[in-house]
Amino acid sequence: MRKIGSGNDALSDDQLQALVNRARLPRHVAIIMDGNGRWAEMRGLPRIAGHREGIGSVRDAVTACRELGIYALTIYAFSMENWQRPPDEVNELMTLLEGYLQKEMATLMEHRIRFKTIGQVHRLPASVVHWIRAAESATLANDKMVLTIALSYGGRAEIVEAILKLYDDLQKGLFKRESVNETLVGQYLNTADLPDPDLMIRTSGENRISNFLLWQMAYTELYFTPTLWPDFRRRDFLEALINYQQRERRFGLVKEQIQPRSGVRQG
């Protein structure tokens, strides 16, 4: 199926990769992988075929991040709202996830990638939770990269949980009311040990964030592409990085304040 040209189509893979500025890489990339169902439907296949094909794109994104030295990659795999999909699709997604975890463990260890999850993971089937916990503990000391998968995740639910926990700790006298600030709130979120995403990619042409990392994306650069997730491979990921690097992040300041020596972090 033809994809919409990016202007880089004539470049070889190596030429494209050479366009990525290693000095301005994002530290954290977040991805809403969307369009698996449509990818399958366009081919007359069941939706699960699209989810299965999408695993190849996950592998490409992880490999590209690891090779380039992007520290954190967070992937939205299953939202709180996705529980409302037909039970067959939910079950198939869980089976696929379990298989992915089993197969990927060796690669995560080999490349020293830490595996983490965010979201209400306890709601997943016990066998999936088992493999998640196994992967989380086996990869705990891996220090080259953090791969976080958002499962049964909702940004609003995460904020509600943080508020409740923070309130309990306040009641216990662990800190004073005056100490509550943005940094402290951030420490109560699932992503406490991750920097905020610098770049968020969403595939499939939907221009929305669907309850993903609401607090954390306050100043994230957003990249929307019509490419469906199973088609979003290494080259597409590199193109997203190049696009990100052409942007000027201002964080509310004026242009003159954001020259490289000013101390405002770029990229």
Which of ligand IPE, Mg ion, none does 225 bind, CB closer than 5 to 8 A by kind? none
User: Of the two residues 145 and 151, which places its CB atom closer to ligand IPE in the complex?
Assistant: 151
Should residue 78 be labelled a site residue for ligand IPE when binding is judged by CB under 6 A? Answer: yes
Which of ligand IPE, Mg ion, none does 190 bind, CB closer than 5 to 8 A by kind? none
Q: How far is the CB of 180 from ligand IPE (least distance, A)?
A: 30
Task: Tell me, residue by residue from 57 to 76, as one string, x for binding to ligand IPE by CB under 6 A and - for no binding.
Answer: -------------------x
Q: Is 196 a catalytic residue?
A: no
Identified binder of ligand IPE from the candidate list 29, 61, 72, 77, rule CB under 6 A: 77
User: Of the two residues 76 and 188, which places its CB atom closer to Mg ion in the complex?
Assistant: 76
Instruction: Report the residue number whose CB is nearest to Mg ion.
Output: 34
Q: Footprint of ligand IPE on residues 210-249 (CB under 6 A)?
A: 210
What residues have CB less than 8 Å from 197, skipping those under 6 apart? 26, 28, 29, 30, 72, 74, 213, 216, 217, 220
Please identify which of the residues 8, 60, 82, 196 carries the catalytic annotation: 82
Do 4 and 226 contact (CB within 8 A), yes or no? yes
> Would strands 199-202 and 28-32 be described as parallel, antiparallel, or unpaired?
parallel
Should residue 151 be labelled a site residue for ligand IPE when binding is judged by CB under 6 A? Answer: no
Should residue 82 be labelled a site residue for ligand IPE when binding is judged by CB under 6 A? Answer: yes
Should residue 118 be labelled a site residue for ligand IPE when binding is judged by CB under 6 A? Answer: no
Q: Is 34 a catalytic residue?
A: yes
Should residue 35 be labelled a site residue for ligand IPE when binding is judged by CB under 6 A? Answer: yes
From 65-73, 98-106, 205-213, 241-249, give the range in contact with ligand IPE by CB under 6 A. 205-213
- Residue numbers at the binding site for Mg ion (CB under 5 A): 34
Please state, in angstroms and rounded to a whole number, the distance separating the CA atoms of residues 262 and 176.
Answer: 34
Please identify which of the residues 8, 13, 14, 34 carries the catalytic annotation: 34
User: Which residues here bind ligand IPE, judged by CB under 6 A?
Assistant: 32-38, 76-79, 81-82, 93, 204, 206, 208, 210
Q: Which residues are catalytic?
A: 34, 82
